[in-house]
Amino acid sequence: MKIRLLLLALCFTAWGCITPEQIPSGNTTTPAQTGYDIVLTNISHAQENKPIYLYGYDCLEVACIDSATVFRGRAEFKNKNNIPRGIYTISSIPNAYSSEELSQQGKDIVFNQSTRFYVNLGEHLTTNSEENNQLFRYYEQKAAATTPALAQSVFNSFTATSPSSFVSKYIRATETIGTPITSDAAFRQQLNAVDFSDTRLLHVPNSYIRNILDYIVQPESQEASACIAKMDALLSRCPNAAVRNYYIRALFSLLNVHNPDYDPVLVYLYDHYDHTWIESGSEKRIERKINNLRKIIPGAQIPELISHDIHGKAHSTNDIQRRYTVLWFWDPDCDHCQEMTPPLHRFYQEHGRDYDFEVFAVEVNDDYDRWKAFSDKHQLWDWTNLSTSRGEQNIDFIEYFDIMTTPVILLIDNSQNHTIIKRQITLDELRLFFSKK
């Protein structure tokens, strides 16, 4: 058996990955709480002497707040510490990790402002809660609808009758779309369904917020400009600074995954919105990260790079006379480098002159023997083949280009003051780029 309890209040303090001071306060001042006491009665005999759990939401995460044992059909969650106000679930599921898992069964219940809260599960009643009465009426009418059209009619009628109530806002936001967003039209529909001025809607056990964020932060299938446009469309609808900061934090967290396609978006987010969303104590760390990314995003100019060949002779990117440079940072111990270096070399041999590009290949692991053996085996000596083992480079390539794993590849336009065209371009993308040129 799974029992769900949703506890609503006008402000919410999160836990886990988001600290309390980061969560926006509600729209209305409420009396101070003194701990909490949540009593459930008329629990099914199947749950007797078994634990149940109190879960809370910060939208992107689910956290277990408390637990209790059922005895004689009754259970009580009680603590002298204040409970973060928001929407909760009481469930028999141990170690739940998603709101979808917790919402498979049960009734939604709206928590009022009282610190003592009684729920009769048999009759689905709560004390002094008109919002619960509204919600129960809605679910009863919807359950009685025999066709999707009738269910839609119930939805339309209810939300039109009390459009400004929290229950209406909650239903519009969570039931407008229940599946991942797959089109711009569906994205706009979801944005139109949500009241982004109400902080309470940040904390509901539903995937609608994650659907919005996931559509904005799609994988490499979209250009950075498309991601930025959708991000701006969301944030422009957040007049409440606390709500806007919440979404910026969530977006930054989803984008901050060491993916070069997201780097321009992270820089844009940092540069175009105020920094009140940054957690206290993290300002310098995030500033350093953004400044490091700013050096290696498309449009940035690289400095002169100097490394050494097998004879110890220094070579500079500034000496390259061709229109383009392909920077290739690699390691002969790396499986991907072993797989990708030979086809890149063949492409260079076949088209380097035609497409007017040079490869500036730097082995970054200081392993002279392996570098030489691999270079000999695949005859890599006809491109600019360098190793950090043969002399000290003029800058730390690993730090400057944020090299966490190899290989790293950048396409540089030498005619535009050595400007980065793209970072981590694939060989197929490289072929496509030059074929179009």
For each of the chain's 437 residues, which pLDDT tens digit applies?
433 333 333 222 233 333 333 333 333 334 455 778 888 888 888 889 999 888 877 767 788 889 999 999 999 988 888 765 667 778 888 888 777 777 665 456 666 555 677 777 766 666 666 777 787 788 888 889 999 899 899 999 988 888 888 888 888 888 876 678 888 999 999 999 899 988 878 777 667 888 899 999 986 567 889 999 999 999 999 998 989 999 999 999 999 887 888 999 999 999 999 999 998 999 999 999 999 999 999 999 999 999 999 999 999 999 999 999 999 999 999 999 999 999 999 999 999 999 999 999 999 999 999 999 999 999 999 999 999 999 999 999 999 998 988 999 999 999 999 999 999 888 999 999 999 87
Is there a single domain that holds both residue 105 and residue 148? Answer: no
Query: Do the domain assignments include residue 288?
Result: no
Is there a single domain that holds both residue 83 and residue 41? Answer: yes
Is there a single domain that holds both residue 312 and residue 420? Answer: yes
Is there a single domain that holds both residue 159 and residue 46? Answer: no
What pLDDT does residue 84 have?
A: 58
**CA neighbor of 252 nearest in space, from 264, 269, 230:** 269
Burial of 422 (0-12, 13-18, 19+ CB in 10 A): middle
What pLDDT does residue 111 have?
A: 63
Query: Do the domain assignments include residue 110?
Result: yes
Q: Residue 62's domain spans which residues?
A: 20-128
Is there a single domain that holds both residue 310 and residue 428? Answer: yes
Q: How many domains does the chain have?
A: 3
CB within 8 A of 398, min separation 6: which ones?
A: 329, 364
What pLDDT does residue 206 have?
A: 67
The pTM for the full model equals 0.76
What pLDDT does residue 390 have?
A: 94
**Given the structure tokens 């917020």, which residue do they identify?**
209
How far is residue 295's CA from residue 242's CA, in Å, rounded to a whole number?
Answer: 31
Is there a single domain that holds both residue 25 and residue 71? Answer: yes
What pLDDT does residue 372 have?
A: 96
**CA neighbor of 265 nearest in space, from 311, 241, 298, 240:** 298
What pLDDT does residue 29 have?
A: 36
Give the CATH number for residue 346. Answer: 3.40.30.10
CB within 8 A of 52, min separation 6: which ones?
A: 3, 40, 43, 67, 68, 69, 70, 75, 90, 91, 92
What pLDDT does residue 350 have?
A: 95
What pLDDT does residue 114 have?
A: 59
* Residue 397: strand, helix, or coil: helix
Radius of gyration of the chain measured on its C-alpha atoms: 29
State CA 226 to chain mean position distance: 16
Look at residues 102, 128, 154 and tell me which one is the last residue of a structural domain: 128
Is there a single domain that holds both residue 311 and residue 429? Answer: yes
Query: Do the domain assignments include residue 299?
Result: no
Is there a single domain that holds both residue 320 and residue 413? Answer: yes
What pLDDT does residue 349 have?
A: 96
Query: Do the domain assignments include residue 61?
Result: yes
Helix axes 224-235, 208-216, angle to 10 degrees: 140
Query: Do the domain assignments include residue 41?
Result: yes
Is there a single domain that holds both residue 403 and residue 420? Answer: yes
Is there a single domain that holds both residue 216 and residue 152? Answer: yes
Look at residues 210, 226, 250 and tell me which one is the last residue of a structural domain: 250
Query: Do the domain assignments include residue 5?
Result: no
